Structure 1
Amino acid sequence: MEYKDQIDVANSELGTKVVYCSDEFFADSGRMLQPTEPVYIEDKYDANGKWMDGWESRRRRDGKNDFCFIRLGSPSIIENFNIDTTHFTGNFAPGISILGCYVPGGTTDDRVVDGSAVSEWFDLLDKKNLDGDSHNLFSCKSDKPLTHLKLTLHPDGGIARFRAFGNKWFDQTKYEITGTNVISKKSGARAIYANDEHFGCLSNVLEKHEPQSMADGWETRRRRKAGNDWGLIALAQPAKVHEIIVDTSFFKGNFPDTFSISTANISNIDDNTLLEVSKTWDKIIERKKLGMNKINIFKKEDLLHEQEITHIRIDIFPDGGIARLKLIGDFI
């Protein structure tokens, strides 16, 4: 089950992980965060019993409930849940509830688990009944940004996959953006050329919506020769730029090591000619390191000029992928 314009922020490939579990006797809680579909292997058993592809606790005899704490890979806002009990028939959890909280970066998970770092837990899902061998779909009650979740099973049992659909949340208050993304498709910008678009097109970096996966960005193949990969983008009209944002969301082992951007202010020139002359354009930002799976921000003091521009050339070294590129400024 997928939701349009939303991603599974609980996906383990995004860095989400279980940081504490009350009981996972029959099946490891971390399995429920896997992006793959759950499988059932008829004759597979381990030391504790039937092997199940998901989280499964033992049978409670004390009147209490099993639970686990989950740290999201990035702060996120969740809109929908899919509690998938596929293959769990006589052993699924009959009920579930979910809480969420937001703690500042650098807070250790143990302080979330013991409650010492949490000012407030938000109700995301009141106790709901679950059906076995089914996709149980629910809406999230809160639209607040979250870093951690607490899942409670009522009282015990198993779920195959836990999906939390929404989008990564970026704290805009951490820095001030004044201006327009002058290379957004919405602003009329267009990708002219990229020397390599093996896994994803350069035009993807101009999209307005939040990136959905690696496929929703520009990604080149692994470079086995000298040199680097690059692309050209045309603005809809002249602009001045005072901030650059390179979003490498989803790109972890395959993001570029460094990048640079050159610019020009030209008119009445055909695209083929641009490919050659772009090598001589003035840098607006020299080569800078990039971090994986993050929004990399380069402010005014990082830029080499504030001249009017109509075209840019982005060079990535030596290769790799980026999800979005934004040049914040003002049209002239």
Structure 2
Amino acid sequence: MSQSTAAWYGVNLASERLGAKALFANDDFFAPKERMLQDSDPVFIAGKYDDNGKWMDGWETRRKREQGYDYCVVQLAVPGRINKIEIDTRHFTGNYAPAAMLEACHCDGVPTASTEWTAITNTVALEGDARQLVDIASDQVYSHIRLNIYPDGGVARLRVYGQPEVEWNGLGAQSLDLLAMEVGGHAICANDEHFGSMHNLNLPGKGINMGDGWETRRRREPGNDWVILALGHRGEIEEIIIDTAFFKGNFADACSIQVADAGNLPDTTLAAQSLYWQELLPKSKLGADQEHSFKEALLEVGPITHLRVNIFPDGGISRIRAIGKPVL
């Protein structure tokens, strides 16, 4: 089985699932602004219309008949430093926004008329039915962004990748999920993701169905499957939670966890090194469609930054939580 990896640009701070909100748009006549923040990929449904016209999976304004441009203000799920913006116009062909520019601000509450906005991109030319990635060269922390489109049209999805700004010093000795997406935890690589993405493992909340977890294909040879995860902050782990929600005839039969205090080692080197990481959780039995908590079974390993979760021999896991205290 080939190893799978995915470029990690950061947490999608504009994720509806994490709590981002489309606060205001000057126009969303054809398709509401809230659809633009959905985590699912946009879809096209032929023949589907609503009272205003063709149903589109995104944000779409009416045809502008005067000077000006349209815009939408988004409150990020958590404030953070932005690395990259994705503007997705999939399925918008003759009705996509031809150009866009993004501004950002940091404020408490809702931006007002006196809020100062900072341009974080130049004006970007867009194409229809395409995905445009834009690098952001800024180290500032922002809480809101404003997407300006010129002059009008549609955007299927807006994703704002970055690093959440967490006040770790203010958390003290508080225990929390150090793997949570909202604190910067993320999947690095897995040997297989045939039926479900490794990036589902640290999503907030319970899984919504069997497709909302990590699932490998049926193994027909010796061995086991695995995934490597990075904590949002170096810390000491007190509890591991493995949830197999919705996985009934295809759950992982058992798991073990190896860990490392890997510092700033390149992600590309971790898979080979992980074979020799120390053990945090010895091989433990799992059951179907249930949450498993491991505390007493955990070994003393000290502070860590990464986990390698091994499943035997294959199958699916919905969520993984790594509860512990950050080590500052």
Give the TM-score category using the shorter length: 0.5 to 0.7
Query: What CA distance in whole angstroms lies between the structure 2 residues aligned with 1:77 and 1:10?
Result: 12
**TM-score, structure 1 length as denominator?**
0.56
Please state how far the C-alpha of 1:56 moved relative to its aligned partner: 0.4
Pair 1:21–1:221, CA change in 2 (3 A): farther
Find out whether 1:144 has 2:143 as its counterpart: no
Unaligned runs of 5+ in 2: 1-5, 179-229, 246-251, 264-280, 304-317
1:279 is aligned to none
2:32 is aligned to 28
Find out whether 1:70 has 2:74 as its counterpart: yes
After superposition, what is the alpha-carbon deviation per residue over 1:140-196, rounded to whole angstroms, capped at 9, x for unaligned?
A: 13221111111101110001111111222113464679xxx9xx99989789x9686
Pair 1:176–1:69, CA change in 2 (3 A): same
2:298 is aligned to 233
1:164 is aligned to 160
SS of the residue corresponding to residue 13 of structure 1 reads coil
Pair 1:54–1:205, CA change in 2 (3 A): farther
Q: Aligned match of 2:7 in 3, 8, 11?
A: 3
Query: What CA distance in whole angstroms lies between the structure 1 residues aligned with 2:323 and 2:25?
Result: 39
Find out whether 1:325 has 2:297 as its counterpart: no
Contact 2:75/2:144, CA 8 A, preserved across alignment = yes
- Written as runs of structure 1 = structure 2, the 5 A alignment for 1:80-159 is 80-104=84-108, 107=109, 109=110, 112=111, 114-116=112-114, 118=115, 120-159=116-155
After superposition, what is the alpha-carbon deviation per residue over 1:21-47, rounded to whole angstroms, capped at 9, x for unaligned?
A: 100000011101111111111101111
Unaligned runs of 5+ in 1: 210-217, 240-319
After superposition, what is the alpha-carbon deviation per residue over 1:277-296, rounded to whole angstroms, capped at 9, x for unaligned?
A: xxxxxxxxxxxxxxxxxxxx
After superposition, what is the alpha-carbon deviation per residue over 1:220-277, rounded to whole angstroms, capped at 9, x for unaligned?
A: 98769xxx9442433346x9xxxxxxxxxxxxxxxxxxxxxxxxxxxxxxxxxxxxxx
2:197 is aligned to none
1:53 is aligned to 57
Alignment: residue pair count: 224
Q: Aligned match of 2:21 in 8, 13, 17?
A: 17
Query: What CA distance in whole angstroms lies between the structure 2 residues aligned with 1:23 and 1:220?
Result: 49
Pair 1:197–1:39, CA change in 2 (3 A): closer
SS of the residue corresponding to residue 163 of structure 2 reads strand
Query: What CA distance in whole angstroms lies between the structure 1 residues aligned with 2:17 and 2:51?
Result: 28
- Written as runs of structure 1 = structure 2, the 5 A alignment for 1:160-199 is 160-172=156-168, 174=170, 198=244
After superposition, what is the alpha-carbon deviation per residue over 1:25-82, rounded to whole angstroms, capped at 9, x for unaligned?
A: 0001110111111111110111111111110000111111100110011112211111
Pair 1:206–1:44, CA change in 2 (3 A): farther
Please state how far the C-alpha of 1:3 moved relative to its aligned partner: 3.4
Query: What CA distance in whole angstroms lies between the structure 2 residues aligned with 1:24 and 1:58?
Result: 7
2:309 is aligned to none
Contact 2:243/2:289, CA 8 A, preserved across alignment = no
Please state how far the C-alpha of 1:87 moved relative to its aligned partner: 0.8
Query: What CA distance in whole angstroms lies between the structure 2 residues aligned with 1:187 and 1:175?
Result: 14
Amino acid of the structure 2 residue aligned with 1:53: D
Amino acid of the structure 2 residue aligned with 1:15: G
2:226 is aligned to none
Amino acid of the structure 2 residue aligned with 1:115: A
Pair 1:58–1:9, CA change in 2 (3 A): same
Amino acid of the structure 1 residue aligned with 2:73: F
Query: What CA distance in whole angstroms lies between the structure 1 residues aligned with 2:88 and 2:235?
Result: 42
SS of the residue corresponding to residue 31 of structure 1 reads helix
Q: Give the structure with the higher percent helix.
A: 1
Cα RMSD, aligned residues only:
4.0
Query: What CA distance in whole angstroms lies between the structure 1 residues aligned with 2:72 and 2:293?
Result: 44
Query: What CA distance in whole angstroms lies between the structure 2 residues aligned with 1:13 and 1:208?
Result: 30
Pair 1:122–1:229, CA change in 2 (3 A): same
Instruction: Report which of the two structures shows the higher radius of gyration computed on alpha carbons.
Output: 1
Contact 1:91/1:158, CA 8 A, preserved across alignment = yes
Q: Which shows bigger deviation, 33-42 or 141-150? A: 141-150
Query: What CA distance in whole angstroms lies between the structure 2 residues aligned with 1:188 and 1:64?
Result: 50
Percent identical among aligned pairs is 31
